Structure 1
């Protein structure tokens, strides 16, 4: 081809249709920030925390990534209450999935509370629901959702049976128990 000859154009690639996402269970709270939140099931733990100045982003509210840190802190405090902390030389928990619904921004200064409760108890995993609320007024909902924790065999990396101590601790926090 000479420099004056236009190059042939390729036909645009056809995109594959997006894979249909599996449906997930909705968190047992409101679907819109303006509505009052539904009552949460019996809590595994309620952890009060102070929002720190360093948690803020350029918009002067708590950065979305800090919500995960708040949830981690609450889960760790709950795990400390479980005999053996749900781990030993053979099994340990890992976070397999996290779902957060950001309902309203948290501004500084603020006192918040993280509430954890059992949504689902499986053979190798537990789905822990969460709510981040105002410490003085639990009807002020900042975030809700859930985290799936799976216990794995440290040697193989495969799912392992949920330790009995974890199952018992979760059963105390399941609705109706």
Structure 2
């Protein structure tokens, strides 16, 4: 936060990170809490973007809307909107690209279970509109 009480731009990427985790839990790709001995899904963040539309302040109540935008062979893209709760105004928009990794840390094809969950989440969102 700066001297005027405006939320620092880097904080938005933390909001995206939390929303990403919650989205992946909601579509069944991440279990919380993780069962003992189960490894996390092997993906890495390849790119993030954020377009700032309006400043936010320390006491603003914000909501992050998250959805699956696109599913590729080795990656998927999530979209984000950060909105001010009191008036539903969009204060920021963003996206993140995640790349699926093999055991050696190299990009690999999405497995069938992951692809199905991601595609299903796109289909669910399109029927809500």
TM-score range, shorter-chain basis?
0.7 to 0.9
Runs of 5+ consecutive residues of structure 1 not aligned to the other structure: 1-55
Deviation, structure 1 residue 109: 0.8
In structure 2, the partner of 1:71 is 16
Which is greater in Rg? 1
Tell me, in whole angstroms, the C-alpha distance in 1 between the residues paired with 2:2 and 2:113.
39
Task: Report the TM-score, using the length of structure 2 for normalisation.
Answer: 0.79
Contact 1:125 1:149 survives alignment (8 Å): yes
Runs of 5+ consecutive residues of structure 2 not aligned to the other structure: 32-37
Pair 170,100 (structure 1): closer, same or farther in 2 beyond 3 Å: same
Which runs of at least 4 in structure 1 moved beyond 6 Å after TM superposition?
A: none
In structure 1, the partner of 2:102 is 153
Contact 1:89 1:154 survives alignment (8 Å): no
Q: Mapping of 1:61-140 within 5 angstroms? A: 61-83=6-28, 85=30, 89=39, 92-138=42-88, 140=89
Compare the two structures and name the one with the higher helix fraction. 2
Number of residue pairs the alignment of both structures matches: 119
Pair 165,112 (structure 1): closer, same or farther in 2 beyond 3 Å: farther
Partner of 2:42: helix, strand, or coil? strand
Contact 2:81 2:92 survives alignment (8 Å): yes
Task: Report the TM-score, using the length of structure 1 for normalisation.
Answer: 0.59
Deviation, structure 1 residue 127: 0.8
Tell me, in whole angstroms, the C-alpha distance in 2 between the residues paired with 1:83 and 1:168.
10
Cα RMSD for the two superposed structures: 2.2
